[in-house]
Structure 1
Amino acid sequence: MATVLLIEDEIALGMIVRDSLEVRGFTVDYAIDGEEGLALFRSKKPDVVVTDVMMPKLDGFSLAERIRADDPYVPIIFLTARSQTVDVVKGFDLGGNDYLKKPFSMDELIVRIKALLNRNQPTRPADPEKLTIGKYHFDYTRQKLALNDHEELLSHREAELLRRLYDHRNQVLERSTVLLDLWGDDSFFNGRSLDVFITRLRRHLKDDPNVQILNIRGVGYKLIA
């Protein structure tokens, strides 16, 4: 069974979640703050990370950012009392795969963990993979987009979304496919988050008029390049 790294500073809640996961066959490493969680991540190499957002020493967003610097692909689930769009977008922007609003049911957490573990994770390329999008050069592995001498660092989520658009360039990429692949479900709330990232990518690509991300109403998006 998979190994879960759980980081939760509310010890009573953390113990309940840990025990519930272990009863269901998961191996659980438990930390009570972000710094301890990062150290456990680097030593244990878990299959999935479940982390609170509001924590001492290192908050969940900062923890996710450091984890992503080490590993672009390990699934990260945020446990949070925050549900405003700006907070959720920030979490996804830093590389989170899913979030659960407190209070939550253990059954829902387990379903989400299993969904992320069952999802095919991308294989890390052996060498940096540089792609051409119009006049831009997109380094997917390093998450960088370059035009002439100007280079921009993309967020993890921006790079993943742009890669999927590139793989379907000049074709329709269905909105529901993107949401299920990158967000875990196609809820209205996650759809709003996706809209934010599409807007950001359009801004990154605005200096080449031959590159466009079109809305295909009711279906999805098309990258024209």
Structure 2
Amino acid sequence: MANPIKILLAEDEAALGQIIKESLETRDFEVLLCNDGEKALKAYQSEKPELLVLDVMMPKKDGFTLAKEIRNVDDTIPIIFLTAKSQTQDVVEGFTIGGNDYLKKPFSMEELIVRIHNLINRTQLQKTADVLNIGDYTFDFPKQKLNYKNEDATQLTHREAHLLFHLIKNQNSVLDRSLILNKLWGTDDFFSARSMDVFITKLRKKLNKDERIKILNVRGFGYKLTI
């Protein structure tokens, strides 16, 4: 029997944290529950979880700060933010610093579980995918690295890597905006759409050394990578 997937849950609301922990354990996850950011960082360092669920507003160290510190040493671990914040800039910040998904409180446990499974499936895909070529770039999807000719590799975030993977796989065809938002963000709402625009802009900059490569905005439909 396979070992259960280990999840680190950082949530300072005791009752909510316990509910989430027990719900995930009924689905055969192993859950490490911490009630502040400092304890969560220590648990991450000692227990090596496979996925993080981080509340944004926590004592001692908030979820965004915690995620930034973890991303400095780990570019691949999936991160889901739990947040009461609903401002666009807060959501975009969460994705920009390396979050893979977010849920606004209150949320249903079923939705959290679906999003966890989606991230796990994406991570498994990443581990088995091939190295891809696009123009003068080599894209190592499993390692989330983008190489231009003989220069040092550029490290991509988890979400940047998956977005680029789908753009390359659909090269010269329109990548449906709603479909990819639901696949990578879990929703196609306004906040996620704004976040996706930010990531597209970042990928354009990282691919701009080869002038043949374009990521086109097909208004009303999505994006198309051409070369």
Residues 205, 39 of structure 1: alpha-carbon distance in 2 compared, 3 angstrom cutoff: same
Structure 1 position 224 matched with structure 2 position 223: no
Partner of 2:165: 163
Cα pair 1:21 1:28 within 8 Å, conserved: yes
Report how far residue 98 of structure 1 moved.
1.6
Secondary structure at 1:222 match in 2: strand
Number of aligned residue pairs: give it: 223
5+ long unaligned stretches in structure 1: none
Shift of 1:47: 4.2
Show the counterpart of 1:122. Answer: 125
Residue 100 of structure 1 aligns with an amino acid whose one-letter code is: L
Q: Which runs of 5+ in 2 are unaligned?
A: none
Check whether the contact 2:34–2:40 (CA below 8 A) recurs between aligned residues.
Answer: yes
Structure 1 residues 109 and 158, CA gap change in structure 2 (3 angstroms): closer
Residues 18 and 89 from structure 1, CA distance in 2 versus in 1: closer, same or farther, beyond 3 angstroms? same
Alignment TM-score, normalising by the size of structure 2 = 0.77
- The residue that corresponds to 1:89 in the other structure is 92
Do the aligned partners of 1:3 and 1:47 also contact (CA within 8 Å) in 2? Answer: yes
- Pairing 1:19-30 to 2, within 5 Å after superposition: 19-22=22-25, 26-30=29-33
Q: Which residue of 2 aligns with 1:133?
A: 134
Partner of 1:177: 179
C-alpha contact (below 8 Å) 1:93/1:158 kept by paired residues: no
Q: Show the counterpart of 2:18.
A: 15
SS in 1 for 2:124: coil
8 Å Cα contact 2:76-2:157 kept in structure 1: no
* Aligned twin of 2:193: 191
Offset of 1:157 from its aligned partner? 2.4
CA shift for structure 1 position 30 = 0.6
**Is this contact kept in 2: 1:143–1:156, CA < 8 A?**
no
Amino acid in the other structure paired with 1:181: K
Equivalent residue in structure 1 for 2:53, among 46, 50, 53: 50
Deviation track 1:61-94 (CA, whole Å, cap 9, x = no partner) reads: 2333444455544432111122222221222233
Matched AA of 1:200 = K
Mean alpha-carbon deviation: is it higher for 25-34 or for 105-114?
A: 105-114
Contact 1:93 1:156 in 2 (8 A): no
Distance 1:35-1:136 versus aligned 2 partners, 3 A rule: same
Deviations 1:102-161 (A, max 9, x none): 23343433343344445563243799x5x5433445454253454786875544322332
Identity level (%):
55
Secondary structure of 1:121's match? helix
More deviation, 22-31/145-154? 145-154
Indicate the larger mover: 68-77 or 42-51. Answer: 68-77
The one-letter code matched in structure 1 to 2:65 is S
Q: How far off is 1:207 after superposition?
A: 4.6
Counterparts of 1:45 and 1:149, CA distance in 2: 32
Q: Which residue of 1 aligns with 2:213?
A: 211
Please report the RMSD computed on the Cα atoms of aligned residues, expressed in angstroms: 3.3
